[in-house]
Amino acid sequence: MRVENSTSTYPVRVVIVMGVSGSGKTTIGSLLAQALNNAPFIDADSLHPPHNVQKMAHGIALTDGDRWPWLMRVRSQLDIEATNLLKTQDSHTQPLYVVCGCSALKRSYRELLARNNAEHSTGQTHDTMFVYIKVDREELVRRLAQRKDHFFDPALLDTQLSTLEQPDTAREAAVVVDGMQPVEQVVREACELI
């Protein structure tokens, strides 16, 4: 699927695929990036500092003090990717996207991620839209039990669910997609909504 149109008024649209652990952010995000004209994909989990990874691996929930520096790093990487994308594109005949998989659990986190970083860009290079992958708890538990080679301790799921502030689509640039559907359908629906 190639996306030919965008509702963005900026040269680049950043799409952040969000949700709790096990919702499919990395799988859906990487497939969405392919569908959005082979956009760059950033897995925010790969940007966690080692002490965050160690805490989560040992079943210790992250605090805001742990999350804010990580979120700043994610935002900075989004700004860099958007700026680099603009520099490498000769013509803007197709919409330009950067896709990121990031929990973005609280509205304040999403507000930070949606800001452009003036340090890396000369003016507004992009806008940001969130795609919330909504999955019920029982399915999340099932998925986390099957997942191997990931640092997140499934015992932290309830902490993430209690921290989650679901996006208010009337007040935030966000859409909600039913993550209980097959992955291909989730990606297709996300493409249609953004």
Q: What would the pLDDT profile of 107-148 be if each residue is shown by its tens digit?
A: 999 999 998 654 444 566 788 999 999 999 999 988 988 877
Can you give the pLDDT at residue 1? 35
Number of domains in the chain: 1
Residue 120: inside a domain: yes
Place of tokens 């000369």: 122
Residue 13: inside a domain: no
Residue 107: inside a domain: yes
Q: Confirm if 33 and 91 have CB atoms less than 8 A apart.
A: no
Number of Cα atoms under 13 Å in the Cβ half of residue 184: 1
Residue 17: inside a domain: no
Residue 73: inside a domain: yes
Q: What would the pLDDT profile of 25-53 be if each residue is shown by its tens digit?
A: 999 999 999 999 899 999 999 999 999 98
Residue 88: inside a domain: yes
Residue 46: inside a domain: yes
Q: Confirm if 175 and 194 have CB atoms less than 8 A apart.
A: yes
Residue 19: inside a domain: no
For 126, the domain range is: 24-193
What is the CATH number for 85?
3.40.50.300
Q: What is the pTM of this model?
A: 0.87
